[in-house]
Amino acid sequence: MSHPSLGLPPVDMTAGDPISAAALRRDRRRIGERAIAFAIESDPTFSARHDELDLAQIRLDVDSFVNRIADAVAASRPAALGHWAEIVIPRFRKRGVSADDLTLLFEGLRRAAPGAVLPDAIPTVDESVAEAIRMFRWHRRLAGDPRPRNPIIEFIYKGA
């Protein structure tokens, strides 16, 4: 990772596809709404777990997700989104958003983003989203993820 204090050059935001990145930023609200709609359609309990206030916060978060995807597309650095996903997972755990919900949202972004980008940028979008999902799935297995558990296994682990 480049960092100026380490003497490394800053990330070149024109190395990838800045036109597609600008299109993603311009259409981020529409893309975000499609991603949330995909999550609700894929998992009917999504809207039951999140009230209107939570959904409003998720809309803002998805807006940020699209901006991060746009950064990865502009710099042609899909691994940067995976690194970012690893950093933000504790924030979502504190808010009670499971890694499965984040995976659903990013799958929705994977399906909605190609409508805004040039065909050459679609592989970068797919790789970026795949990196983020890989991080969410890895963190899903750690303790503290607020996903529904198997009641029998939970009963056994409690030692009752």
Q: What is the DSSP letter of 4?
A: G
Contact 11, 75 (CB under 8 A): yes
Q: Kindly tell me the sign of the dihedral angle through the C-alpha atoms of 108, 60, 18, 77.
A: negative
Question: What band does 49 get if pLDDT is binned at 50, 70 and 90?
Answer: confident
Question: What band does 107 get if pLDDT is binned at 50, 70 and 90?
Answer: very high
User: 116 vs 10, which has greater pLDDT?
Assistant: 116
Comparing 5-9, 58-62, 137-141, the range with the smallest average pLDDT is 5-9
Question: What band does 3 get if pLDDT is binned at 50, 70 and 90?
Answer: low
Q: What is the mean pLDDT of residues 75-93?
A: 91
Specify the pTM: 0.83
Residue 60, pLDDT score: 94
State the Cα–Cα distance between residues 61 and 35, nearest whole angstrom: 11
Longest CA–CA span in the chain (Å) reads: 58
Q: Is 76 left (phi over 0), alpha (psi -120 to 50) or beta?
A: left
User: 6 vs 21, which has greater pLDDT?
Assistant: 21
Residue 123 reports pLDDT greater than 70: yes
